[in-house]
Structure formats: C-alpha cells, structure tokens
Amino acid sequence: MIEISPGDVPPLPLPGAASAANVLKTAAFCASVGLRGAMATVLERHGSAPGTPGQKLYLAEDGTCVGTVGGGAMERATLEALQAVVADVSAKHQVRGFKLGAELGMCCGGRLEVLLEPIDGLVPCLIVGAGHVATALAPLLVNLGFGVTVVDGRESWAREERFPGVRCHQGEVDDEAMRAVDPRGACLVMTHDHHLDQQAIAWALSRNFAFVGGVGSRAKAERTRQRLELRGVSVANCARVRMPLGVEIGARLPDEIAISIAAEMVAWRKRSRSTAR
C-alpha cells in the first residue's frame, strides 16, 4: 500500500454533473489516453441515505471528476476513498460501507454500500512507421490493451482505414501533435529509412519514453548506437534502446515479427506494473 502524507494529498475535486452513461464514457476516454482512475458505484441503500443504486462517481489521476453518489459528506468520503485507490497501483476492487452517522457529521442514520473499482489506463504506445510490420503489430497491441498511435510522414500510409481502432497521424515524430502521446508508455520505431529510425529513436529518448525500441538487425543496432553517441546521446540512454526489438522466436515475416514484438510489450508491461507495486 502506498503511504500518502497529508501534505501529498491533492485537494478533493468538485465533481461535474453527469449521468451514469456519461460517467462511463468519461472513464473510457481517460483510460484510452493512459490515465489511471477509479470508479464508485452505489450498490445498495439502507435507510435514509442520499445515494441511489446505480449512481456512479469517477475520478482520474489528472483530476477529472464526474458523477455523483448522492452528494454531501457521503460523497466527500467516497471521493477520499477514490483518491486513495487512484494513488495505490496495487489497489483491488472492494466494497465499502458508508454510514451517515456522527463520523460524517450527519444524522440520517442510513447507509450506502459502494463498489470501488480501480481502472488502469491503457499503456500508450507510439509506433513510428506505418509499413508491413506496423500494420500487423498495431491491431495486436490494441487487442492486448495498449493505446496505439501510428505516425508516418508518407502520404496515405498512416490512415485509419489501414489501422482500425488506432489513432493515426501523417507527419513527423517531433510534430506538436505527437507530444500528446504520454512518454510513460512505449515508442516503437520501424520506419522505411535507417536515418529516420535514428532520428525517431533520438527524439523518443529526449522525450524520456519509458520504453524505446527499434526493428532491425544487430548490425543496425550497433550502427544506431554509434550514431546516437555522435549526436551527443549519453551511453546510458543508448543502452536503453531495445534493438533488435521482439522476443527471439526466429521471426522473419512481418506477422511473425509483430507477434514477437507484442510478446515483448506484454512482458514489459507486466514488469513495469509489478515494479510500481
């Protein structure tokens, strides 16, 4: 359990009014862009209590807060519980009882049973290059719970009809639009040009992506390392680059390479989350 001192706890947000359906839409959007959050759902009401079964209240790590579980001191106590769930990456689903008694400054005497659910955000993954490996890899990563963005400077390559369910951008990695990809995720480089690969990897390192990898041979990996060092990239940062990218399964074809990379990304995500606990 993460210990939070009083000075570390952010002020409680003011929830925006929203129906249960819109609370779910907001939670889905926040998760899609990589934000961790937590949801409270009223399960049962006993006696005189303001909440109604089915009401929902959602809080994201960036302070986004929508919905209600009835308002007043009950809602404040629920928000405090959600705040603790968001801050604790090891938090599990739990049912909490909130009694409208003296501890909440209320005398209604009722009680709410509330389900508290942690909602992990999709791990952001930027794929640089929209070629054969990327077209095989992107849908795999989407199905595995990654929030995927594909960028390619070539006209007609990074298009949504080629990548269903994937955010696409025609342009360069250092375009302003690409700064929206959270660097707590991964940047996977697989362009059609070795020079572009090196530029993209250097950019990803400068943005401090948690995982940086590139498709290529061991010879290409060594040349990339040398050229990165010539550009002033530190030895420690160069060592962070995973190239050749993917689990060693003897992959040669684009679909095989995509499977090997997807396997490595799942393993990295598991390690990252276990380390954070």
pTM for the complete prediction? 0.78
Residue finishing a domain among 98, 119, 140:
119
Same domain assignment for residues 13 and 88: yes
pLDDT at position 138, please? 97
Range name among 18-22, 44-48, 92-96, 146-150 with the lowest pLDDT average:
44-48
Range with the poorest average pLDDT among 6-20, 124-138, 173-187: 6-20
For residues 152 and 221, state if they share a domain.
yes
Residues 32 and 166 in one domain: no
The answer to whether residue 1 sits within a structural domain is: no
Residues 128 and 14 in one domain: no
Any domain includes 146: yes
Establish if 160 belongs to a structural domain: yes
Q: What is the pLDDT of residue 6?
A: 36
What pLDDT score does 276 carry? 65
Domain co-membership, 219 together with 144: yes
Which range among 15-19, 86-90, 252-256, 262-266 shows the weakest confidence by mean pLDDT? 15-19
Q: What is the mean pLDDT of residues 24-48?
A: 89
**Is residue 159 included in any domain, yes or no?**
yes
Whether residue 227 lies inside any domain: the answer is yes
Residue 80 belongs to domain spanning: 6-119
Same domain, residue pair 170 and 104: no
Q: Is the pLDDT of residue 257 over 90?
A: yes
Number of structural domains the chain divides into: 2
List, for residues 147-173, the tens digit of each pLDDT value: 999 999 998 899 989 998 899 999 998
Residues 270 and 190 reside in one and the same domain: yes
At residue 109, the pLDDT reads 62
For the chain, the average pLDDT equals 87
Listed residues 119, 146, 171: the one ending a domain: 119
Q: Do residues 110 and 137 both lie within one domain?
A: no
DSSP for the chain, written as a single string: -----GGGSPPPP-PBP--HHHHHHHHHHHHHTT--EEEEEEEEEESS-S--TT-EEEEETTS-EEE-SSSHHHHHHHHHHHHHHHH-TT---EEEEEE-SGGGT-----EEEEEEEEEPPPEEEEEE--SHHHHHHHHHHHHTTEEEEEEESSTTTS-TTTSTTSEEEES-TTSGGGGGS-TTSEEEE--S-HHHHHHHHHHHHHTT-SEEEE---HHHHHHHHHHHHHTT--HHHHHTEE-S-S--S---SHHHHHHHHHHHHHHHHHHHHHHH-
Of 54-58, 72-76, 120-124, 169-173, give the lowest mean pLDDT range. Answer: 72-76
Q: What is the pLDDT of residue 11?
A: 67
The reply to whether 24 falls in a domain is: yes
Read off the CATH number of the domain in which 205 is found.
3.40.50.720
